[in-house]
């Protein structure tokens, strides 16, 4: 089993129920449609591909939106406030779908640790966008599957570094080294600080994936997300308030962008992502992981006019091929 299957092993299937329909035929038809949508698929279809492309567009856009909202709130406060606002939305969804939410099933210590790792990941990501460009963050942050593959070699039985993973690791490391040492173009002089923060943030993201695989595999997706949102809402908001000056210069547009992040990306987007993982074969989904950094670079260029130097383009290509190889099973 490939490590990229970790998310599909979670109990992440959405349970839709038809509750109150006056027309019995309408109820039966609707229930039948939902049951059909929740059946395991042997191959990727247009619906699944559409969801995956759409979600990767959101992931790429997310970095640009974070940088925009950083103008109104400090990075830590924005991250904590986003979790605080998303928590009740995800909780409501979980209650409506009658998901099993429990703090007494033995998952609490691991859930808190998961939340602390989530805090570290997003604190570094949000701060990184204060220093460097969206395009560069997209490169360094989204090489996360490479770090998962390396750590899994030592921590997860049956997940050795085969020739595909070693080749992908080598290409990704070369791409990262090129980007760090290459010409920054019009990027800020201290962009390397943000680059390193994004790189380490991706490593924390990888640690979340491994913890989920090893210790939280029996926790439903909503509960797992609630652990992350609950801990980060408390910790990041408290730290931001302690450091002072959490509010910068928010206006109506920044509030609207922030609200879009909370509802569409953090709440609905991630839950739909978990649903897709539970329905479609992971082997059909690996190539879609290349889209997030590509969309991130595109939105950085389109919104902020981020420089895309030849070195950055080659680095992105090498990292992308590396991610593909890491996720690709070895053919006997």
pLDDT in tens, 246-264: 999 999 999 999 999 999 9
How does pLDDT run across 160-179, given as a tens digit for each residue? 888 888 888 888 888 888 88
pTM here is 0.81
Task: Identify whether 12 is part of a domain.
Answer: no
Asked if the structure places residue 6 within a domain, the reply is no
Closest CA to 129 of 120, 141, 118: 141
229 domain residue, yes or no: yes
Residue 300 within a domain? yes
Residue of 99 and 289 predicted with greater confidence:
99
Report yes or no on 2 lying in a domain: no
Buried b (16+ CB within 10 A) or exposed e, 80-94: bbbbbbbbebbbebb
Query: Is residue 239 assigned to a domain?
Result: yes
Average pLDDT (94-111) is: 92
Count of domains observed in the chain: 1
Angle between helices 310-327 and 163-181 (to 10 degrees): 160
Tens digit of each residue's pLDDT (9 = 90 or more) over 194-245: 999 999 999 999 899 889 888 988 888 889 999 999 999 999 999 999 998 8
Decide: residue 209, CB within 10 A, 0-12 exposed, 13-18 middle, 19+ buried.
Answer: buried
Looking at the domain assignment, is residue 1 inside a domain? Answer: no
Report the distance separating Cα 101 and Cα 99, nearest Å: 6
CA distance 34 to 12: 15
- Domain range for 215 is 44-327
The pLDDT value given to residue 203 = 94
- pLDDT score at 186: 61
Least confident interval from 35-39, 53-57, 149-153, 260-264: 35-39
Domain presence at residue 4: no
């Amino acid at each position: 089993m490939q490590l990229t299957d970790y998310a599909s092993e979670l109990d992440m299937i959405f349970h839709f129920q038809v509750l109150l329909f006056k027309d019995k035929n309408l109820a039966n038809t609707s229930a039948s449609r939902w049951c059909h949508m929740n059946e395991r698929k042997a191959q990727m279809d247009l619906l699944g591909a559409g969801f995956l492309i759409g979600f990767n567009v959101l992931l790429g856009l997310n970095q640009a939106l974070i940088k925009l909202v950083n103008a109104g709130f400090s990075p830590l406060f924005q991250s904590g406030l986003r979790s605080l606002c998303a928590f009740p939305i995800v909780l409501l969804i979980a209650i409506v779908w009658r998901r099993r939410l429990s703090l007494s099933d033995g998952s609490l210590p691991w859930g808190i640790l998961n939340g602390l790792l989530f805090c570290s990941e997003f604190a570094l990501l949000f701060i990184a966008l204060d220093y460097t460009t969206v395009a560069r963050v997209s490169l360094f942050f989204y090489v996360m599957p490479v770090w998962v593959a390396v750590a899994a070699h030592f921590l997860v039985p049956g997940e050795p570094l085969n020739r595909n993973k070693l080749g992908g690791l080598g290409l990704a490391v070369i791409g990262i080294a090129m980007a760090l040492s290459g010409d920054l173009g019009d990027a800020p002089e201290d962009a390397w600080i943000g680059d390193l923060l994004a790189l380490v943030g991706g490593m924390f993201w990888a640690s979340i994936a491994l913890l989920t695989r090893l210790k939280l595999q029996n926790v439903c997706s909503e509960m797992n997300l609630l652990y992350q949102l609950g801990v980060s809402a408390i910790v990041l908001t408290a730290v931001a308030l302690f450091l002072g000056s959490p509010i910068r210069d928010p206006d109506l547009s920044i509030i609207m962008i922030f609200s879009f992040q909370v509802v569409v990306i953090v709440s609905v987007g991630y839950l739909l992502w978990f649903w897709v993982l539970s329905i479609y074969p992971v082997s059909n989904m690996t190539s879609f992981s290349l889209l997030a950094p590509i969309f991130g670079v595109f939105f950085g260029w389109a919104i902020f006019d981020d420089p895309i130097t030849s070195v950055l383009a080659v680095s992105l290509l090498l990292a992308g091929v590396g991610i593909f190889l890491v996720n690709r099973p070895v053919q006997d």
